[in-house]
Amino acid sequence: DIQMTQSPSSLSASVGDRVTITCRASQGISNYLAWFQQKPGKAPKSLIYAASILQSGVPSKFSGSGSGTDFTLTISSLQPEEFATYYCQQYKSYPYTFGQGTKLEIK
Amino acid sequence: QLQLQESGPGLVKPSETLSLTCTVSGGSISSSSQYWGWIRQPPGKGLEWIGGIYYSGSTYYNPSLKSRLTISLDTSKNQFSLKLSSVTAADTAVYYCVRWVDYWGQGTLVTVSS
């Protein structure tokens, strides 16, 4: 299985900050990477697929980049509703695997 | 707007079979190139890909669950389903149905307990 490792596991930030979350794959996955946002008690929401393509309706303050083994999710000008847990997932090969999650908390 | 809704028992006894159905509305489950899947999340933990099925009926299962797992389509009802046999407490989780990679159901908690 391809292992996905996110860093950091948790992150404290303030409203208005710009933050970056990193996701590393244990082997190359080209750009077969998705990012999800999950709020407590809710289903995950798809943000980005193919490493950098925003899902319909997702604001451009979210951006993704990377290819191969190293990927990033950047959120600019954090708003209160964006404090959540973020997951990356590879879909290059089965079984699809997720990172362990990054919990973004208000400082 | 596509919508997915999971349904099934919220409590299953150990060694029995967990059965869930995902009803899709706002679109056809048999439209070409669509991929439907199941993902679960144990309480307080991360996400695990269970498996999926293409519109054609081809299935892909997580090897860790493959011997116990069946995923199928019912195009007449616009539904797909999951059956996981011989469950244990480790199968307790919120189960989500998804249209890969964009739409998720709200999730349903299944507890395995006697």
Q: What is the mean pLDDT of residues A6-11?
A: 97
Interface touch B46/A98, C-beta < 8 Å:
yes
The overall average pLDDT reported for chain B is 96
pLDDT at B101: 86
The beta-carbon neighbor of A34 closest among B46, B51, B101 is B101
**Could you count the other beta carbons within 10 Å of the beta carbon of residue A15?**
12
The overall average pLDDT reported for chain A is 97
DSSP code at position B91: G
User: Is residue A103 very low, low, confident or very high in pLDDT (cuts 50, 70, 90)?
Assistant: very high
Interface touch A89/B60, C-beta < 8 Å:
no
pLDDT tens figures, B59-106:
999 999 999 999 999 999 999 999 999 999 999 999 999 999 899 999
d(CA B98, CA A55): 15
d(CA B36, CA B13): 27
Nearest to A64, CA basis, from A55, A54, A79, A77: A54
d(CA B39, CA B55): 18
Q: Which residue is closest to A97 within chain B, CA to CA?
A: B49
Can you read off the two tokens belonging to residue B110?
């299944």
Interface touch A98/B100, C-beta < 8 Å:
no
CB contact, 8 Å: B67 with chain A?
A: no
**Is the predicted pLDDT of residue A33 greater than 90, yes or no?**
yes
Residues A4/A23, Cβ–Cβ less than 8 Å: yes
Please name every residue paired with B78 in a beta bridge, in sequence order, or none if there are none: none
End-to-end CA distance of chain B: 39
Half-sphere exposure of B53 (CA within 13 A, CB side): 20
Instruction: Give the start-end residues of each E strand in A1-107.
Output: 4-7, 10-13, 19-25, 33-38, 45-49, 53-54, 62-67, 70-75, 85-90, 97-98, 102-106
Taking the CA of residue A85 and the nearest CA in chain B, the distance in Å comes to: 10
d(CA A25, CA A37): 19
Q: What is the mean pLDDT of residues A7-35?
A: 97
d(CA B82, CA B62): 13
d(CA B43, CA A52): 30
User: Is residue B33 very low, low, confident or very high in pLDDT (cuts 50, 70, 90)?
Assistant: confident
